[in-house]
Copies of this chain bind each other. A is one copy, B any other.
Amino acid sequence: MYVANNIFNATSIAIVGASREKEKVGHAVLENLLKKFNGKIYPVNPKARRISGLECYKSVKDIPGKVELAVIVVPNKIVPYVLEECGIKKIKNAIVISAGFKEAGVEGAKLERQCVEIAHKHGVRIVGPNCLGIINTSNNLNASFASQTPKRGCIAFMSQSGALCTAILDWAALEDVGFSKFVSLGNKADLAENDFMRVFSDDEETRVILAYLEGLKDGVGFMKLARRTTKQKPVIVLKSGRTTAGAKAVASHTGSLAGSDNAFTAAFKQTGVIRVDSGEELFDYAIAFSTQPLPKDDRVAIVTNAGGPGIMATDACERSNLRLSSFTPRTIRKLRSNLPVASNIYNPVDVLGDATSKRYALALETVLKDRNVDGVIVALTPQAMTDINNVAEEVVRASRKTNKPILCSFMGGIDVASGIGVLKKNGVPNYQYPEKAAKTMRAMVEYRLARKFKHKKPQQINVDKGTVSRILSVARKEGIVNLSLLDSMRILEAYGIRTCKSKLVQTFNEALEAANEIGYPVALKVVSQDILHKSDIGCVTVNVSKNNLQSAYTRVIMNARKYMPNANITGVLVQEMVSGGREVIIGMNRDPQVGPLIMFGLGGIYVEMLKDVSFRVGPLNEDEARNMISEIKGYPLLNGVRGEKPLDINSLEDSLLRLSRLTADFPEILELDVNPIKVFEKGNGYLAVDVRIILRHEK
């Protein structure tokens, strides 16, 4: 049993800071509990003897019986003392509603850490601080100061914004939407999204999990848990704070393209979490997911009583990447023989402006039975002859007889209101315009696909971890952050990522020997920690033949000296010139919240200008590596376009898996760019030409 679950099932609750003054939060919490909760309620307030008819205690320690949950609403400075007392009283769970902690600055953050330390010392777990509280509708536990209590339902909601909680509860009251559990996460000093996701996941009353999050406390744990949870029930997340660019100076291509938002998008996608962009979408989706079955595929039938709305719905489906069903001949026959001649019997089915509810019902039931139909959108406009309530009743009837989703768009205001009421009461979602219905249907299709997807563990690969450890430990000792090209190449080689032949030399004679061994033409690159943009100042030269070697060698050294007379020059790298092949880039940027974000893309201008790249959070498995490659727009360039031979995509997959393994094994690798990798025709592999590794040494 999870700790967090105990909070929802507490049967004895102390409200520390309970108040009889109506405008105080300590009063609102007590009143919410008193309304319907059946367990024991103990107000705690040293200044009162009775509050709201209940005996009041000076401290939780004075409460005679067992207490399972403390709700704390005292001034911030007092919270540590209260937690200490809770610990002594063996109260294992506390909701700290009080504000004035991390959100209020440095002092508050210190106070918050102090609270957590005290709590953990006693084995007390905390929700909050700086939160609205929690609600469990199944046992009438409303331990919050929300002004409204939601009705019982099957949607669980957690939110990092208390203000959004109040807005949602207010909206739910208007829309008559029910919740199973409702949690305001506050500052997440202790318990956080993962703890509650676990509760929601196991909760039989919960069919849909919603979350408003501004960040993840434990991204790796979240991904593991989400992967499992989304197999059971949909998890819909509004992740805000897309703009929090963060102050980190980014040194690599991958780093500059990654950004935390791409990291979240990748993490959610990989784990089947449905990401939404607005509160509207969050609830549009929640209502459909909580009431309608999932579509088997993306083929949608539209039933409408007018041409215009039919076209609007068709456009919406196309924009949402849904297919319009092609009906079977049987469906066509049935529609033709039962609908008026002027009706459109193909998709979208137009039952015409004078459609009775029976005609709607016939069309709807006929298309629902069609094996080429996975879901239906019913569009309606209030025309003179339209019997809106009866149409709604027929839609409800049809929805009870089918295992396919039906989403409605009854367009209008006053005339359609009561029909929409009939739909909502009976669990058929309605959207003001077909656009949202289509978008929601698309989300359902995608969730179904994601749920089917089996996540496999990456296969074992042989790597030489020892060599990398040694290189990194030297770098750590020497405080090196930008690893040298040669060391970076050695690291790649140790993990089985093939690099072009390179040799570090100190003299021209060594260079000649190295070039003879590597084969001409070669490239020469000055290696120096002091010189960053080597090619800009003539410290790199390519396509050097045997004849030109001496002059080229002299030139790069001279240019380095000219640029920085005192530069510490490690030597000159003599490198194999890789001819042919197409340039790609693979890389990694470590996101502070979700971990190593792996990137793949075509090299050169594709990555720089067109940003045609894909991301996954590592460690990758084979499917993910493959999909990363195939989902970029420029994929045909790799897979053979215009009669060209396909390139060695399998070997690229392998390189991604090895890169993933490398960055999983060595968390001190902060950023990594292999750019370019040249990939050759199928069977001929690839070669990493240049690589950049940036380290972060733990202090």
The answer for the CA separation of A74 and B55 in the assembled complex, in Å, is: 81
Q: Which residues of chain A (162-217) have a CB below 8 Å from chain B?
A: 162-164, 166-168, 170-175, 212, 214
Tell whether, in the assembled complex, residue A414 and residue B315 are in contact, meaning their CB atoms are under 8 Å apart. no
CB of A631 within 8 Å of the partner chain:
no
Tell whether, in the assembled complex, residue B637 and residue A159 are in contact, meaning their CB atoms are under 8 Å apart. no
CB of A307 within 8 Å of the partner chain:
yes
The answer for the CA separation of A610 and B609 in the assembled complex, in Å, is: 12
Tell whether, in the assembled complex, residue B381 and residue A167 are in contact, meaning their CB atoms are under 8 Å apart. yes
CB of A605 within 8 Å of the partner chain:
yes
The answer for the CA separation of A405 and B168 in the assembled complex, in Å, is: 27
CB of A280 within 8 Å of the partner chain:
yes
Out of B342, B432, B608, which one reaches A280, CB within 8 Å?
B432
CB of A89 within 8 Å of the partner chain:
no
CB of A579 within 8 Å of the partner chain:
no
The answer for the CA separation of A312 and B242 in the assembled complex, in Å, is: 9
Q: Which residues on the B side are within 8 Å of A537 (C-beta)? A: none
The answer for the CA separation of A411 and B163 in the assembled complex, in Å, is: 9
Out of B278, B312, B384, B416, which one reaches A145, CB within 8 Å?
B384
The answer for the CA separation of A580 and B161 in the assembled complex, in Å, is: 58
Out of B242, B306, B308, B641, which one reaches A608, CB within 8 Å?
B641
The answer for the CA separation of A673 and B259 in the assembled complex, in Å, is: 40
Tell whether, in the assembled complex, residue A342 and residue B104 are in contact, meaning their CB atoms are under 8 Å apart. yes
Interface mask (A413-444 → B, CB under 8 Å = 1, otherwise 0): 11111000000000000001111100000000
Interface mask (A136-152 → B, CB under 8 Å = 1, otherwise 0): 00000000010110000
Interface mask (A266-291 → B, CB under 8 Å = 1, otherwise 0): 00000000000111100000000000
Tell whether, in the assembled complex, residue B214 and residue A279 are in contact, meaning their CB atoms are under 8 Å apart. no
Q: Which residues on the B side are within 8 Å of A342 (C-beta)? A: 104
Tell whether, in the assembled complex, residue B609 and residue A170 are in contact, meaning their CB atoms are under 8 Å apart. no
Q: Which residues on the B side are within 8 Å of A636 (C-beta)? A: 605, 609
The answer for the CA separation of A174 and B420 in the assembled complex, in Å, is: 14
Q: Which residues on the B side are within 8 Å of A160 (C-beta)? A: 308
Q: Which residue of B lies closest to A242 (CB)?
A: B315
Contacts A415-B147, A610-B633, A634-B609; is A240 near B308 (CB within 8 Å)? yes
Q: Which residue of B lies closest to A108 (CB)?
A: B342
Q: Which residue of B lies closest to A311 (CB)?
A: B240
Q: Which residues on the B side are within 8 Å of A98 (C-beta)? A: none
Number of copies: 2
Tell whether, in the assembled complex, residue A309 and residue B167 are in contact, meaning their CB atoms are under 8 Å apart. yes
Q: Which residues of chain A (319-373) have a CB below 8 Å from chain B?
A: 319, 342, 353
CB of A25 within 8 Å of the partner chain:
yes
The answer for the CA separation of A609 and B636 in the assembled complex, in Å, is: 7
Tell whether, in the assembled complex, residue A414 and residue B316 are in contact, meaning their CB atoms are under 8 Å apart. no
CB of A28 within 8 Å of the partner chain:
yes
CB of A241 within 8 Å of the partner chain:
yes
Interface mask (A633-649 → B, CB under 8 Å = 1, otherwise 0): 11011000110000000
Tell whether, in the assembled complex, residue B170 and residue A305 are in contact, meaning their CB atoms are under 8 Å apart. no
Tell whether, in the assembled complex, residue A641 and residue B164 are in contact, meaning their CB atoms are under 8 Å apart. no
CB of A383 within 8 Å of the partner chain:
yes
Contacts A147-B382, A432-B280; is A414 near B306 (CB within 8 Å)? no
Q: Which residues of chain A (208-262) have a CB below 8 Å from chain B?
A: 212, 214, 238, 240-243
CB of A499 within 8 Å of the partner chain:
no
Q: Which residue of B lies closest to A164 (CB)?
A: B308
Tell whether, in the assembled complex, residue A308 and residue B163 are in contact, meaning their CB atoms are under 8 Å apart. yes
Q: Which residues on the B side are within 8 Å of A530 (C-beta)? A: none
Tell whether, in the assembled complex, residue B175 and residue A413 are in contact, meaning their CB atoms are under 8 Å apart. yes
CB of A318 within 8 Å of the partner chain:
yes
CB of A46 within 8 Å of the partner chain:
no
Q: Which residues on the B side are within 8 Å of A622 (C-beta)? A: none
Interface mask (A73-96 → B, CB under 8 Å = 1, otherwise 0): 000000000000000000000000
Tell whether, in the assembled complex, residue A433 and residue B279 are in contact, meaning their CB atoms are under 8 Å apart. yes
Q: Which residue of B lies closest to A309 (CB)?
A: B163
Out of B242, B383, B414, which one reaches A173, CB within 8 Å?
B414
Q: Which residues of chain A (109-168) have a CB below 8 Å from chain B?
A: 145, 147-148, 159-164, 166-168
Q: Which residues on the B side are within 8 Å of A487 (C-beta)? A: none
Q: Which residue of B lies closest to A643 (CB)?
A: B536
Contacts A312-B279, A315-B240, A315-B241; is A411 near B381 (CB within 8 Å)? no
Tell whether, in the assembled complex, residue B243 and residue A164 are in contact, meaning their CB atoms are under 8 Å apart. no
CB of A314 within 8 Å of the partner chain:
yes
The answer for the CA separation of A159 and B103 in the assembled complex, in Å, is: 51
The answer for the CA separation of A455 and B113 in the assembled complex, in Å, is: 63
Report 30 cross-chain contacts, Cβ distance below 8 Å, ordered by A residue. A23-B385, A28-B384, A147-B384, A159-B308, A161-B308, A161-B309, A162-B353, A163-B307, A163-B309, A166-B382, A167-B411, A167-B416, A171-B411, A171-B432, A173-B413, A174-B414, A174-B417, A214-B311, A240-B311, A240-B315, A241-B311, A277-B319, A278-B433, A278-B436, A279-B433, A280-B435, A605-B637, A608-B641, A609-B633, A609-B634
Interface residues of A, Cβ cutoff 8 Å to B: 23, 25, 28, 103-104, 145, 147-148, 159-164, 166-168, 170-175, 212, 214, 238, 240-243, 277-280, 305-309, 311-312, 314-316, 318-319, 342, 353, 381-385, 411-417, 432-436, 605, 608-610, 612, 633-634, 636-637, 641-642
In order of increasing CB-CB distance, the 3 nearest A-B pairs are A161-B308, A174-B413, A163-B306
